[in-house]
Amino acid sequence: MVTNILIAIVAGIIIAAIITGIQVSALKSVSERHEASDYVKQGSLNLSEKQDVFLYKKTERSERQQN
């Protein structure tokens, strides 16, 4: 009974924190831009070099739990 109350309280706090957090963050709409993707000239990407070279591979294994 006591455990249930404690779980309920913690769960209640977490849920309320998430909901209130979302509502508070909705108040902010001003933020800096770090990229200029809106200003890329369409179709201007021109790759002069494209190389994908295989280097090496490594294999690991782990024992499965035998029941």
State whether residue 25 is helix, strand or coil. Answer: helix
The 31-50 contact track toward other proteins, x by CB under 8 A, reads xxxxxxxxxxx--xxxxxxx
Minimum distance between the CB of residue 43 and other proteins, rounded to whole angstroms?
Answer: 9
Question: What is the dihedral sign for C-alpha 61, 62, 63, 67?
Answer: negative
Measured distance between the N- and C-terminal CA atoms of the chain, rounded to whole angstroms: 36
The reply on whether position 63 binds other proteins by CB under 8 A is yes
Q: In angstroms, rounded to a whole number, what is the distance separating the alpha carbons of residues 58 and 5?
A: 51
Question: Should residue 2 be labelled a site residue for other proteins when binding is judged by CB under 8 A?
Answer: no
Applying CB under 8 A, the residues found at the interface with other proteins are 4-5, 7-9, 11-13, 15-17, 19-20, 23-24, 26-41, 44-64
